[in-house]
Amino acid sequence: MRERYPVFHKIAGSRQIMIRTARDLAAAAALDPAHWAVTGMPTDSIIYEPDFLKLVDTDKNNRIRPDELKNAIYWLLDMMADRTGIEEGSRVLKLSAINKEADGAGVILAAAHIILQNLGIPDAEEITLDQVMDRKNLVLNSCGNGDGVITAENNDNALLAEYIRDAIFVCGSVPDVTGLPGIDLEITEKFRGELEHCHKWHLEEKGEALFPFWEKTGEFYSRYIELESEIDRYFVLCHAISGNGAGQSASLMSLDPLNNQGMSDFMANAPCAMPDPECILSAAGWLNPEKGLKIPAFIAMAHELRMAASPEKITEQEWRKVIEKLKQRKEWLSRTPTGNINTLPEDKIREYLEKDVSAMAVQLIEKDRAVKEEIEAYASLKKLILYQHCMIEYVNNFINLSRLFNPEELSLIQPGHLIMDGRHYTLCCRVMDVAAHKKIIQRSNICVMYIALSTGLPENFRTMNLAVAITSGSMRDIFVGRTGVFVGKDGTEWDARVIDFVQQPVSLGEAIQMPFIRFGEFLERQADRFFSSKSKTMETNVGTDLSKGKVPGDIVQTAAGKQTPAISGSMMLMGGGIGIAALGSAFALIVNTLKSIPVWNVIVVLLGIIFIISAPMVMVSIIKLCRRHVSDFLAASGWAVNPRMRLSNRMGLIFTHIPPRPSGAKYLYKDIASVFSKGFVDKKARFRVIFYWIFAGLILCGIGFWIYLKWYR
């Protein structure tokens, strides 16, 4: 068989390798990247299979380079013995097409068989991308998916399922491969420890040492724990003042009773009672109203339980006995289990421990992890099917850009098409930073508008910015704030609004018209400015005269008083005749002058004036139109493009065009608006318009006939 050599096609003025078959794919991978169309692209600049892009982007920097794409191509070609599916871009992988001699092929086949078995079709000879991507139905039995996570939903043992739910409630969960919450070995061991600690704590609760005062232990301990720190501090202060006599006690009360802030600070820092050098806490003495109001009840209960000799006071020795008596209970309460484990009934905890449900869970987890090697091949299986489905399409948007210039379908670069001004705009790309994009896009010499997109309900509202190229027609009717609609590849419609521009020539016709349009706009602005200033001056003068109390009649009378004697009617008639004669002489002079000038000279002069006005701008526009490059348009979005792909006028029609109307459509040339407006038309006004047109036509005919007689007869 004759070996087939790589074929390079001319695309936008550059030679790029065409890739249609697996053989072409291998040749492209072996080609020096200098001959590739693209050597780097940001993954967020295209809308394509996200899982495919993540798999190719091995270093996870959101950019794909030639080495990453080459490795993906070589791996795909090595794994496939029958490469028909690659050329077709099939979403169905035939198990017989896998190269069984390739490294890792065995575990991929094993993973495929496990998935097919779990789906109930163990004898199937092919597996689809949808079956692999359907994570909910991928594994019907979560105890055999190799992730080391067991779930309550997929467990037939009711006790173990309840154990898993309680473990999740107490210690949290981890998702299994299907996304369901479950527990792994770490959570199981942690829950086992919580159960054992809680059970042991409950067993100690039954000991007599924790109830020295029997049924009143709980109440007395509550009173004790509330006052423990304050009474301890009280006796420390008692020892502190015992060496200084009662004078120290008096000094503590040397406060200004009218100083509210001082009194508040003292109460906050003062002990619960007045320190006593004898180290006796008396309920009958002065007690701090913020801290000591519970002391009398505590002392009375201590006396009732025979821990204090008097119902009104307690000594330091008696206080120390109380501390010793409640020490063990305090230590036990400090080990009280915390968290959600406290909400579990004691009998359920005892059942979990007696039946060793934790060991059952560990055994099931170990069994699940035993098939980890086979299940880990799930990612490789998914990768293989994705590569088979996406690779040819992707390389025709990377190694060559043939898809970009195909008007029949949008390439990966193009997220959709914009409908605005009665045209379709298809050369567009996503923009993350409009300001940075504008600095680079200037080099492309392409007219670009930036549009803001939005779609979705308030709870699922989405926005996006795009750079859209205007490559043909005109942009006179496009302005900042104009709205349209953007249709994505998936059919989603977005509201579109123009937010910015990069002004460049769009077409040769617009380049020729633009100087005159701008000159006309300039004259219009100057006329508006002139008449506006004159109108403003007149309004100012009239306002000034009115403010001075003058009226138009006074002005006329004043002016009349200063005039020289009035001119008679005969003098006015004579002056008018002289004026008409002067105009006639001037007109005759102009006609005689034009008569001596050949008509071609007049035409040449007019063309020269037009050339002087338009030539510089037209020449600049033509140069810019010839220097338009798609490469720089892509480079502004972060693409590393090798060839300089010129955007010709013909190519511009691919990206900006008026869609054709349906074939066989009928056209009615009568404007429906004129039909509806018949009842509102003034017939006299219509006849006046007809008369004016006829009169203007006769004048033009007369002038033409007169010129003919003078110059050619």
Residue 557 has pLDDT above 80, yes or no: no
Residue 494 has pLDDT above 80, yes or no: yes
Are 288 and 267 in contact by the 8 Å Cβ rule? The answer is: yes
Q: What is the mean pLDDT of residues 162-186?
A: 87
Query: How far apart are alpha carbons 543 and 547 in whole angstroms?
Result: 6
Average the pLDDT over each of 475-479, 561-565, 585-589 and give the range with the smallest value: 561-565
Q: What is the mean pLDDT of residues 399-412?
A: 88
Are 645 and 18 in contact by the 8 Å Cβ rule? The answer is: no
Contacts 24+ apart (CB under 8 A), 349-356: 349/195, 349/198, 349/199, 349/202, 350/199, 351/159, 352/163, 352/166, 352/195, 353/195, 353/196, 353/199, 355/159
Q: How confident is the model at residue 682 (pLDDT cuts 50, 70, 90)?
A: low
Query: How far apart are alpha carbons 445 and 631 in whole angstroms?
Result: 11
Query: How far apart are alpha carbons 369 and 224 in whole angstroms?
Result: 53
Q: Which residue has the higher pLDDT, 118 or 426?
A: 426
Q: Which residue has the higher pLDDT, 307 or 580?
A: 307
Q: pLDDT tens-digit profile of 526-544?
A: 777 776 776 677 777 766 7
Residue 328 has pLDDT above 90, yes or no: no
DSSP state of 163: H
Concatenated DSSP letters of 524-593: HHHHHHHHHHHHHHHHHHHHHHHHTT--HHHHHHHHHHTSPSPPPHHHHHHHHHHHHHHHHHHHHHHHHH
Three state DSSP letters for 19-36? CCCHHHHHHHHHCCHHHC
Residue 563 has pLDDT above 60, yes or no: no
Query: How far apart are alpha carbons 322 and 307 in whole angstroms?
Result: 7
Integer-rounded Cα radius of gyration of the chain = 48
Q: How confident is the model at residue 247 (pLDDT cuts 50, 70, 90)?
A: very low
Average the pLDDT over each of 202-216, 287-301, 421-435 and give the range with the smallest value: 202-216
Q: Which residue has the higher pLDDT, 348 or 246?
A: 348
**Per 3-state DSSP, what percentage of the chain is helix, strand, and coil (rounded to 5)?**
55, 10, 30
Q: pLDDT tens-digit profile of 49-74?
A: 999 999 999 998 999 999 999 999 99
Alpha carbon 668 to chain centroid, angstroms: 46
Single-letter amino acid code for the residue at 517: I
pTM for the full predicted model = 0.59
- Can you tell me whether residue 196 is helix, strand or coil? helix
C-alpha torsion 283→285→287→292, nearest 10:
-10
Query: How far apart are alpha carbons 337 and 341 in whole angstroms?
Result: 7
- Can you tell me whether residue 64 is helix, strand or coil? strand
Average pLDDT score, the chain: 80
Are 346 and 202 in contact by the 8 Å Cβ rule? The answer is: yes
Specify the pLDDT at position 230.
84
**Bridge partners of 98?**
80
Residue 428 has pLDDT above 80, yes or no: yes
Q: What is the mean pLDDT of residues 19-39?
A: 93
Specify the pLDDT at position 138.
54
Specify the pLDDT at position 154.
76
Average the pLDDT over each of 41-55, 347-361, 444-458, 547-561 and give the range with the smallest value: 547-561
Q: What is the mean pLDDT of residues 357-378?
A: 80
Q: Which residue has the higher pLDDT, 35 or 579?
A: 35
Q: Which residue has the higher pLDDT, 101 or 292?
A: 101
Are 271 and 288 in contact by the 8 Å Cβ rule? The answer is: yes
Are 53 and 43 in contact by the 8 Å Cβ rule? The answer is: yes
Residue 251 has pLDDT above 70, yes or no: no
Residue 702 has pLDDT above 50, yes or no: yes
Burial class (CB in 10 A: 0-12, 13-18, 19+), 303: middle
**Bridge partners of 564?**
none
Specify the pLDDT at position 299.
81
Handedness of CA 31, 32, 33, 37 (dihedral sign): negative
Specify the pLDDT at position 234.
84
Q: What is the mean pLDDT of residues 568-579?
A: 55
Q: How confident is the model at residue 367 (pLDDT cuts 50, 70, 90)?
A: confident
Can you list the alpha helix ranges (DSSP code H) found in 103-157? Answer: 105-118, 129-133, 135-138
Specify the pLDDT at position 560.
46
Q: pLDDT tens-digit profile of 620-675?
A: 878 888 888 888 899 888 899 999 888 888 888 899 999 888 888 887 777 777 66
Specify the pLDDT at position 3.
47
Query: How far apart are alpha carbons 608 and 601 in whole angstroms?
Result: 10
Q: What is the mean pLDDT of residues 501-526?
A: 76
Strands 416-420 and 423-425: antiparallel
- Can you tell me whether residue 143 is helix, strand or coil? helix
Q: How confident is the model at residue 95 (pLDDT cuts 50, 70, 90)?
A: very high
Q: Which residue has the higher pLDDT, 474 or 334?
A: 474
512: CB partners within 8 A, 6+ apart = 614, 618
Single-letter amino acid code for the residue at 240: A
Query: How far apart are alpha carbons 368 and 164 in whole angstroms?
Result: 15
Q: What is the mean pLDDT of residues 343-351?
A: 86
Handedness of CA 376, 377, 383, 386 (dihedral sign): negative
Q: What is the mean pLDDT of residues 599-612?
A: 70
Specify the pLDDT at position 94.
94
Query: How far apart are alpha carbons 617 and 389 in whole angstroms?
Result: 50
Taking alpha carbons only, the member of 595, 599, 626 closest to residue 706 is 595
Specify the pLDDT at position 704.
72
Query: How far apart are alpha carbons 294 and 292 in whole angstroms?
Result: 6
Specify the pLDDT at position 558.
46
Specify the pLDDT at position 57.
94
Helix (H) or strand (E) holding 426: none
Query: How far apart are alpha carbons 588 and 565 in whole angstroms?
Result: 36
